[in-house]
Amino acid sequence: MSANLTEIGEKLLAWYDIHARQLPWRVGPDALRAGFQPDAYEVWLAEIMLQQTTVATVKDYYTRFTQKWPTVQALAAASEDDILKQWAGLGYYSRARNLKKCADTIVSEHGGQFPADLFKLRALPGIGDYTAAAIASIAFGIPAPVVDGNVERVFSRLFTIDTPLPKAKAEIRERVNDVLTKERPGDFAQACMDLGATICTPKKPACMHCPVRLDCTVLGVQDPERFPVKPPKKEKPNRVGAAYVIVNEKGQILLAKRTSTGLLANMTQVPTTDWNSRKDGMTDIGGAPIKNARWMRSGQIEHVFTHFSLTLTVWKTEVAKSQFTPADGQWWAPIATLQGEALPTVMKKVIAHALPDAKLRG
């Protein structure tokens, strides 16, 4: 490694020692020096939650999860339904299902301990290259290039990598590996993440406060905001459908469990028409589970998924509980306890639209 690359790593660590963010799952540099060690379970849980989600959103979820399930053994003993209920509103629900699968694997195949091995970590359910590298470096001190969106931005600017993503990922990883400090790989990874989150931001980066500004090949030559270079965005299709909010005289709402495969698998919803990312569903009361009810149109809600946007027409009716028997996979739930159900954000929007007084978080 050249002296210049070594100095970049040292500058990043010196900056991190002063400016490290205090996060519930992080053992900061002062605590590390005092002998405290990161817990692999906590690192893993936080990194899974942080995928496609902001730190501000994750903090409360992480705290609730670790209070309810403080160890991987406790999480493995939980049901998938309970995990989905705690995850509801965080999105990308396959992550929650993989949490359960991974916890089960750790307990059954690794004696309840995360393996201190990059390749064994990569083989666990729901753990990809990034998460495996993050756990290896932060929890076990294994030098591994940890590359998330923040790190891609920092290093594409630092070295003027103008290859568009995702092609640029391999080159960025090589550059991170070149600068990576072998003595403090976990702190180095978190320093890069923090720099991207607080200084080398997507818009209006605070370049004059950057600890490696003198090493940055973009600064003063090109617009940093152009990096990383991204391919043109594909236009998302907009799908439509209907959602049916049915309440009874006892203050209960009809809920249903989604199928075990596909979008929002095993999550809870109100009855809806058959929409998905590839097709529209009916938008009128023709798809309602009760045909002879007095339906009122409550309006529409909008929701954006990764690959498509969705417009749902919301219909509401009231029925006597004795006059309607829920079908298989349906049940009456007290409106007052909806916060404990595994409702994805799109369904929380639907219910809040039809029942403004319902108390729903997220």
Query: Which of 351, 347, 361 shows the shortest CA–CA distance to 264?
Result: 347
Q: What's the whole-number average pLDDT of the chain?
A: 93
Which is catalytic among the residues 10, 42, 47, 80? 47
For residue 35, pLDDT over 70 is answered with: yes
249 catalytically annotated:
no
* Helix%, strand%, coil% for the chain, nearest 5: 45, 15, 45
The region of weakest confidence among 183-187, 318-322, 349-353 is 318-322
Per residue in 217-252, pLDDT (tens digit) is: 999 899 999 999 998 888 899 999 999 999 999 999
What is the C-alpha to C-alpha distance for residues 198 and 190, in angstroms, rounded to an integer? 12
Query: Is 84:267 a contact under the CB 8 Å cutoff?
Result: yes
- Answer whether the bond into residue 24 is a cis peptide, omega within 30°: no
Q: Which residues contact 109 (CB under 8 A, 6 or more apart)?
A: none
pTM of the model: 0.84
Average pLDDT of the segment spanning 60-84: 96
Average pLDDT of the segment spanning 158-182: 95
| Cα angle, residue 112 at apex, residues 110 and 92 outer, rounded to 5° | 95
DSSP one-letter string for 287-323: G-S-SSS--EEEEEEEEE-SS-EEEEEEEEEEE-GGG
Per residue in 246-267, pLDDT (tens digit) is: 999 999 999 999 988 888 988 9
The region of weakest confidence among 58-72, 167-181, 321-335 is 321-335
Query: Which of 56, 78, 81 shows the shortest CA–CA distance to 68?
Result: 78
The predicted structure's pLDDT at residue 2: 46
What is the C-alpha to C-alpha distance for residues 309 and 304, in angstroms, rounded to an integer? 4
